[in-house]
Amino acid sequence: MSDIPMMGSSAAASNTAHSDAVSAFERHRVELRASKRSWTIFALIVFAICLGLSIWISNFYPERLANGVPRIFEYFGTIIPELQWNMLFEGRDADERAVPGSITYWYTDFWTYATLIWETILMAMTATLIGAGMAFVLSFPAANNLAPNSWIYWISRRFLEICRGIPEILLALVFVFMIGIGPLAGVLAIAIHTAGALGKLFAEVNENASSRPVDGITAVGGTWPEKMLYGVVPQVAPNFFSYAMLRFEINVRASSIIGFVGAGGIGQELNRVISFYSDDRVLAVLILVVLTVTVIDLISERIRHRFIGRENL
């Protein structure tokens, strides 16, 4: 039927041809595995050395850890509120005073905390919007398949690296000195870090975008911004959205500690109660922070999954 040698062909010539191909393949496979094995062994040795060094430098010894564990509980002892079961839900008395041992007494400053947590969430939102906006604009020149020339590519890449290379808390310190204590300093600090981190992710998404639509827009006589807007953005928008939401979750956590240096939000209050009182107020704030972060995470995860799910239909 055909002159192509097939499995089970009775011709002796084609059988030797087969065994040649098989032995060549086996030889090649053994070589490949051997070279892979020596690489694995090398990597393991390097890893072991690094692990040993880091244990030595950080004094990560079990007995130190064992000695430290009780002290954690000591600290928790000082910040646990003295609640009494029979008074737990007592309201304020006739003189507007809360009864010691009640939740009302423990959370006397609840509305201060709530206001500050709201401020924290708003800070995270604003910072994410500003940062994502900067990242969006910079992600096109920072993608090596889209950048109009290598100069612009190099500059935008380095700029994004600087933005995400400086820790938020350091940026916040600088801004507090510049424009004073308050949430604006925190928003700016987080926005800049967000621009750097998201910009890199966005640029990587852009690098995976198909060049065909871009070619199409080039061929109709589109300018560079038109190529990006019509050829690339429709492809990458769902991924951009998903990454920005993820970043929002991260920024809620970031803006709740950035207040430690006076940059607004609940962190400022947390710092105050830790430094001045170190009593049950610390735990009161901590519980609210953890609750907020968890709830925001859950909501944003829902939105992201729903969005991705709809996209894949």
Residue span 235-274 as binding mask against other proteins, x where in contact by CB under 8 A, dash where not: x-x-------------------------------------
Which C-beta is closer to other proteins: that of 209 or that of 288?
209
Least distance (Å) between residue 198 CB and other proteins: 21
Asked whether the CA dihedral 158, 160, 164, 169 is positive or negative, the reply is positive
91: tokens are: 């309201």
Least distance (Å) between residue 146 CB and other proteins: 15
Which C-beta is closer to other proteins: that of 231 or that of 265?
231
Which C-beta is closer to other proteins: that of 186 or that of 231?
231
User: What is the four-CA torsion angle of 91, 97, 98, 99, rounded to 10 degrees?
Assistant: -100
Residues within window 273-302 making contact with other proteins, judged by CB under 8 A: none
Which C-beta is closer to other proteins: that of 180 or that of 234?
234
Which C-beta is closer to other proteins: that of 81 or that of 222?
222
CA–CA separation, 144 and 206 (whole Å): 9
Least distance (Å) between residue 166 CB and other proteins: 32
* Half-sphere exposure of residue 141: CA atoms within 13 angstroms, side-chain side: 17
Least distance (Å) between residue 214 CB and other proteins: 8
Return phi, psi of residue 209, to 5°. Answer: -70, 145
Return phi, psi of residue 148, to 5°. Answer: -65, -35
CA–CA separation, 122 and 280 (whole Å): 27
Asked whether the CA dihedral 301, 196, 228, 129 is positive or negative, the reply is positive
Least distance (Å) between residue 240 CB and other proteins: 13
Told to check if 309 binds other proteins by CB under 8 A, we report: no
Which C-beta is closer to other proteins: that of 149 or that of 275?
149
* Half-sphere exposure of residue 219: CA atoms within 13 angstroms, side-chain side: 6
Which is nearest to 209 in space by CA: 228, 186, 191? 228
- Ramachandran sector of residue 4 (left: φ over 0; alpha: ψ -120 to 50; beta: rest): beta
Residue span 120-159 as binding mask against other proteins, x where in contact by CB under 8 A, dash where not: ----------------------------------------
Least distance (Å) between residue 134 CB and other proteins: 18
CA–CA separation, 270 and 257 (whole Å): 8
Report yes or no: 199 and 163 within 8 Å, Cβ to Cβ.
yes
Residues within window 203-242 making contact with other proteins, judged by CB under 8 A: 212-213, 215-223, 225-226, 229-231, 234-235, 237
Least distance (Å) between residue 219 CB and other proteins: 4
Determine the size of the site formed for other proteins (CB under 8 A): 19
74: tokens are: 């000591």
51: tokens are: 């692990």
Which C-beta is closer to other proteins: that of 120 or that of 242?
242
Least distance (Å) between residue 13 CB and other proteins: 24
Residues that bind other proteins (CB under 8 A): 212-213, 215-223, 225-226, 229-231, 234-235, 237
